Amino acid sequence: MNEKDFEQAAIDSEEILKKVDKESDYRKLKGFFAKIVAALAITFSLFQLYTAAFGVLDAMIQRSIHLAFALCLIFLLYPARSSWPRDRIHPVDLIFAVLGAAVPLYIVVFYQQLVLRAGTVTTLDYIIGLIGILLVLDAVRRVVGWPMVTVATLFIIYALAGRHIPGALAHRGIDLPGLIQHQFYTTEGLFGIPIGVSSQFIFLFILFGAFLEKTGLGQLFIDLANAVAGWAAGGPAKVAVISSALEGTVSGSSVANTAGSGSFTIPMMKSLGYKPEFAGAVEATASTGGQIMPPIMGAAAFLMAEFIGVPYLRIIQAAIIPALLYYFGVWTQVHFEAKRLGLRGMKKEELPKLGVVIKEKGHLLIPLIAIIYLLVEGFTPMKAAFYAIILAIGSSMLRKNTRISFIDIVNGLEQGARSALGVVAATACAGIIVGVVTQTGLGLKLGSTLVDFANGNLFLTLFFTMITSLILGMGVPTTANYVITSTIAAPALIMMNVPVLAAHMFAFYFGIIADVTPPVALAAFVGAGIARANPLKTGIQASKLAIAAFLVPYVFVYHPSMLLINVNTFDIIEIIVTSIIGIIGVGSGVCGYFFTEQSFLERILFFAGGILLVTPGIETDLAGLLLLIIGYLIQKHKVSKKKVQAAS
C-alpha cells in the first residue's frame, strides 16, 4: 500500500468517528474563545493533578468543581444544535456555559449553609437543583447522545409517578422537591459514586492516556506488534489484534481506538487479501476488548471496585484470564481465516526489528510497568495514576527521538480534559439513575421481577441480563451501561447466590460487547466505514470474532474459579491450559477450518469440544478433549487423503 491510501484511511476514520461518536464532533474554535477553552481545559487538568498530589477536597466540593469545569467546556465545545456554526460560539451556548459553571459552584460557595440545613430545600436551592439536573441532561444529549438521556428521563418519570404504576414496581412516589434534594444535594444522586470515581480516578487515567499518546506510545505498540507478528500468516490482522489490545488498555474507548489504529491496520489487512468486512471486524473486536484488558480497563472497572467495595487490583486480577481468552479467541480466528485463504505475512525485511524497537522506544513502557507495580504495592489508583503521569513525561525525556516539549505537555493537559468530558457527563447522568434506584428501591424490585420472570432458573436469568446489557449498550457508553445493569440486573444474579464479583463482571462484559453486536454496533460501524464495507455484515463478523466474550461470562458465573475466586496455583494452571485449548477448538469451529475445510459435523465437534474445555472441571475437560481429538483425527485423515489424491 502507498502513503496516499493510509492518508485517505485516516481522513475517512476521522469523518466516520464524527458521525458515529458524538464526543468527536466538537467545535474547532479559533482566536479568543479557542484560548479561553484551552485555558479552562488546562486548569481543569491542573486542578485534578493538584488534588491527586495533595488530597481530594470534601466529596461534594470535589465533585461540584469537577462537574462545573466539565459542563462549562461541554457547552462551549458542543453546540446545542447540529446546524449551528462550528468555528464560533453561539450566544445561547455561552449562556449555558456560564450556567454550567455557576450552578455546581453554588454548592461550593454555600457549602456550610447547605450542610447546616441538610434535608431542607429552600426555594433558591430548589431552582438551582432543577436547573443543574436539566443542564446535566442537556450536556449528555450533546456529548453522548439521546439514548442515555432517554433512559435517565424514564427513571425520573418512574420516581415521580411511582404511586400510579401498577404491579410489583409500584412505590409510594416522590415529589419534585424531594427528588431534587436527593439528586442534587446529597452524594446519593447526581453527585454520587459514579461522578466521585470520575473526579478521583477516571479523569487521571484519561489524562495519563493523553500523555502516553503524546510520547508516541501508540506507534510503539504498532511497531512491537509488527516485530512480533507481522511475519506470520495474516500478519497485519494479528498486528491489529496485538496493537489494539495494547492501545485499548490506555484509551478506554472502543470507538476512538477503532478509528485511531484502524486507519493503519485496516488498509494493511485489505492489501494482504482479507475481505473488507473481516478487516473492519478484526479491528473493531480487538479495539473493543481493550476495555476488559488490565491494567486500566476503561472507566467502568473503577466504578465496579467502588460499587462492590474491593480494591481495584482485585478487579484487575479477576479480569486477567477472561481478557486473555478474549484476545486469544480473536487471534485464533484470524489465524484460521488466514490459513483458509492462504494469506501470507509481510516480508521480514519490511518489518521493524524487535531489539531495535525496544532499544529506541522501549523506555516509553516505563509508565505502564510502573502503574502495575504501584497498584500491586497498594497505592490508590489516584496516586498510581498521578505518579504514572509524571513518569510518562519523565521517561519521554530519556531519548531525544521521544522527548516531548513544554508545548506538548500543555497540549496533553488540554487534550486530557477534552477527552474526559464525555465520561464526566455520563457519570453525572448515571448518578441520576442510581439516585432513583436508591430512593425508590427499584434495584431489588427489578431483581426480584427478573428472577420471577426466569422462574428461578439461573441460565435464563443470565440470558435476560445479557440481552438487557446488549440493548442498553446501543449508544449508551460502557460506563453508564454498567451502572444501569449493575443496579438492575446484578442484584438478580446475587439473589441466586452468584458471587458479587462474578455478577458485576457479567454485566460489565456484555455492556462492552454491545459495541460490536448488531444492530447498533458502533465500533464495528467505524471499522466498516474505514474498510468501506457493509456495516451489518461487519457487525456480524465482529460478533463471531468476539465469541469468547459471549461464552466466558457464563463460564465464570458457573465456575468463579476463572475469576481467581477460591483457587490455588494448580487450579489456575489447569484453567489457563484447558481454556486455551478450548478457545482453539471454538475458534476453529466458528471459522470452519483447522488443517483444511471442515464439514458441519466437524465444526460441531470442534465447537462443542472447545466449550467443554473452556468450562472448568475434570469431567468437562475430558469430554471436550475427546471431542477435539476426534475432530483432529478426522482433519488429519482428510489432509492425508488429499495428499494421496494429489500425488496420483
Q: How many angstroms separate the Cα of 251 from the Cα of each of 236, 255, 296, 446?
A: 21, 10, 9, 33
Q: How many angstroms separate the Cα of 171 from the Cα of each of 182, 450, 539, 647?
A: 16, 18, 40, 78
Task: Read off the pLDDT band of 166 (50, 70, 90).
Answer: confident
**Residue 2 in this model has a pLDDT that exceeds 60:** no
Instruction: Report how many domains make up the chain.
Output: 3
Is there a single domain that holds both residue 555 and residue 571? no
Task: Read off the pLDDT band of 339 (50, 70, 90).
Answer: confident
Is there a single domain that holds both residue 460 and residue 572? no
**Residue 247 in this model has a pLDDT that exceeds 80:** no
Average pLDDT for residues 205-211, to the nearest whole number?
A: 89
pLDDT of res. 221: 81
Is 459 within a domain? yes
Backbone φ and ψ of 202, nearest 5° = -60, -45
In eight-state DSSP terms, residue 27 is -
**Residue 491 in this model has a pLDDT that exceeds 90:** no
Q: Please tell me the distance from the alpha carbon of residue 630 to that of residue 608, in angstroms, as a whole number.
A: 12
Domain closes at, from 543, 566, 589: 566
Is there a single domain that holds both residue 128 and residue 250? no
Amino acid (one-letter) located at 227? A
pLDDT of res. 37: 97
Is there a single domain that holds both residue 553 and residue 625? no
Average pLDDT for residues 82-108, to the nearest whole number?
A: 95
pLDDT of res. 251: 60
pLDDT of res. 7: 60
User: Dihedral angle at the C-alpha atoms of 74, 77, 81, 82, nearest 10 degrees?
Assistant: -130
Average pLDDT for residues 168-177, to the nearest whole number?
A: 88
pLDDT of res. 18: 66
pLDDT of res. 57: 95
pLDDT of res. 186: 94
Average pLDDT for residues 343-361, to the nearest whole number?
A: 83
Is there a single domain that holds both residue 144 and residue 288? no
Can you give the length of the chain in residues?
Answer: 648
Q: Contact at 8 Å (CB) between 413 and 392?
A: no
Closest Cα partner for 47 from 26, 64, 27? 64
Is there a single domain that holds both residue 463 and residue 576? no
Residues 514-573 pLDDT 10s: 888 887 778 888 888 888 888 889 999 999 999 888 888 998 998 898 899 888 888 888
Q: Contact at 8 Å (CB) between 246 and 335?
A: no
Structural domain for 417, as ranges: 201-566
Is there a single domain that holds both residue 303 and residue 378? yes
Q: How many angstroms separate the Cα of 103 from the Cα of each of 40, 90, 100, 220?
A: 17, 20, 6, 43
Is 185 within a domain? no
Is 416 within a domain? yes
Task: Mean pLDDT check: name the lowest of 171-180, 311-320, 407-416, 522-531.
Answer: 522-531
Task: Mean pLDDT check: name the lowest of 48-62, 92-106, 215-229.
Answer: 215-229
Amino acid (one-letter) located at 630? I
Which of 114-118, 468-472, 488-492, 554-558 ranks highest by mean pLDDT?
Answer: 554-558
Domain closes at, from 566, 597, 624: 566
pLDDT of res. 300: 77
In eight-state DSSP terms, residue 78 is S
pLDDT of res. 54: 95
pLDDT of res. 11: 59
pLDDT of res. 13: 63
| 3-class DSSP state of 597 | strand
Is there a single domain that holds both residue 371 and residue 487? yes
Q: Contact at 8 Å (CB) between 146 and 107?
A: no
Is there a single domain that holds both residue 560 and residue 571? no
Domain closes at, from 566, 592, 618: 566
Residues 379-424 pLDDT 10s: 888 999 999 999 999 999 999 888 999 999 999 999 999 999 998 9
Is 190 within a domain? no
Residues 433-463 pLDDT 10s: 999 988 998 877 877 888 888 888 898 989 9
pLDDT of res. 250: 65
Q: Please tell me the distance from the alpha carbon of residue 494 to that of residue 491, in angstroms, as a whole number.
A: 5
Is there a single domain that holds both residue 534 and residue 484? yes
**Residue 299 in this model has a pLDDT that exceeds 80:** no
Neighbours of 544 (CB within 10 A): 17
Q: What angle do CA 142, 417, 134 make, to 5 degrees?
A: 35
Average pLDDT for residues 96-109, to the nearest whole number?
A: 98
Q: Which residue has the higher pLDDT, 377 or 447?
A: 377
* Residue 295, preceding peptide bond in cis (omega within 30° of 0): yes
Amino acid (one-letter) located at 330? V
Is 192 within a domain? no
Q: Please tell me the distance from the alpha carbon of residue 258 to that of residue 220, in angstroms, as a whole number.
A: 17
Is there a single domain that holds both residue 581 and residue 560? no
Q: Return the bridge partners of 597, or none.
A: 593
H or E stretch at 367: helix 366-376
**What percent of the chain is modeled with pLDDT above 70?**
95
pLDDT of res. 211: 92
Average pLDDT for residues 156-164, to the nearest whole number?
A: 91
Task: With both helix axes pointing from N to C terminus, report the angle between 547-558 and 535-545 in degrees, rounded to the nearest 10.
Answer: 40
Q: Return the bridge partners of 593, or none.
A: 597
Residue ranges in 565-617 assigned as alpha helix (H) = 569-591, 600-614
**Residue 6 in this model has a pLDDT that exceeds 60:** no
Is there a single domain that holds both residue 571 and residue 559? no
